[in-house]
Homo-oligomer: A and B are copies of this chain.
């Protein structure tokens, strides 16, 4: 069935030395005679020897693999980060194992459970729940380095790389208010997720600081998929006295809002102004282009990978918590309320 690879033993035999000497020659440590080393290297080359990483892992206790558990690999945000992490890891001869939690805590638990027995060296996680995180704490306690991205978790001391969700959301809503909107709708996802909570807080803080009363009827909650967001948008805008502007908390929601509003015959920005959290390539293809709060997505993956690699190399310092600022990109989806 599986054709066996060349083992160290065979190389050693071919070079007429012991396994120990062959290992020394190949990994250049300890004393080896020059001529012997040459013979071993030549034999290894000739036979096409490649070290068995599993055997190495059994001794060292660790496979050169890092686990990445994003909310959903199909989300371009995570796909981009996965790609960046992989590039970084590859430089250090590590592989990336991706296992989507699909935003499901139970699945996240199962995944981590199964990855743990794989002797994986470290983890980069986007935890699904801000509170139900005992399994992650446990993972970290077992000694495997963990870096959190996009979302953090209570009671867990480890590196994290997130963005300023509250500030970004606040800036978005501030901008709508600066354009004389007061009835500002919010399309948000389930609060279980950390980013959703922070973005909600930003929305609330902005309104509050401008003396605008919160109106629960302006908030629509849905699952974070385009389809659910379409429905939630239609629900929101079917009410009497509907919002004049809408803030959506992620790019899937924004896409859903776009479709929902179009299906209701509402035009942007004439009938409704729109600002979305998270930039996405579609935002510049629509007419008008969509104003968004952009995350520095290209920095998250590489930094998370860097942190993890440092931990793998044994760096022992206090956990670092990086929070990147966001940036409001003004395009054409917001109109001044009075001028409509």
Q: Among the listed B65, B97, B282, which residue makes an inter-chain contact with A282, where contact means beta carbons less than 8 Å apart? A: B282
**Is A31 an interface residue when CB atoms closer than 8 A count as contact?**
no
Q: Among the listed B95, B282, B286, which residue makes an inter-chain contact with A114, where contact means beta carbons less than 8 Å apart? A: B95
6 interchain pairs, CB-CB under 8 A: A1-B314, A51-B117, A52-B119, A86-B99, A93-B114, A97-B98
CB distance from A2 to the nearest CB of B (A): 4
Residues of A whose CB lies within 8 Å of any CB of B are 1-5, 50-55, 57-58, 61-63, 65, 72-74, 76, 79-80, 82-83, 86, 90, 93, 95-100, 113-119, 141-144, 226, 255, 258-259, 281-282, 284-287, 314
Is the CB–CB distance between B86 and A100 below 8 Å? yes
A285 surroundings in chain B (CB, below 8 A): 255, 258-259, 282, 285-286
Is the CB–CB distance between B95 and A96 below 8 Å? no
CB distance from A78 to the nearest CB of B (A): 9
Is the CB–CB distance between B62 and A2 below 8 Å? yes
CB distance from A48 to the nearest CB of B (A): 10
CB distance from A217 to the nearest CB of B (A): 28
Question: In the bound complex, what is the Cα–Cα distance between A327 and B254 (angstroms)?
Answer: 28
CB distance from A208 to the nearest CB of B (A): 34
A115 surroundings in chain B (CB, below 8 A): 95
Is the CB–CB distance between A53 and B143 below 8 Å? no
CB distance from A147 to the nearest CB of B (A): 16
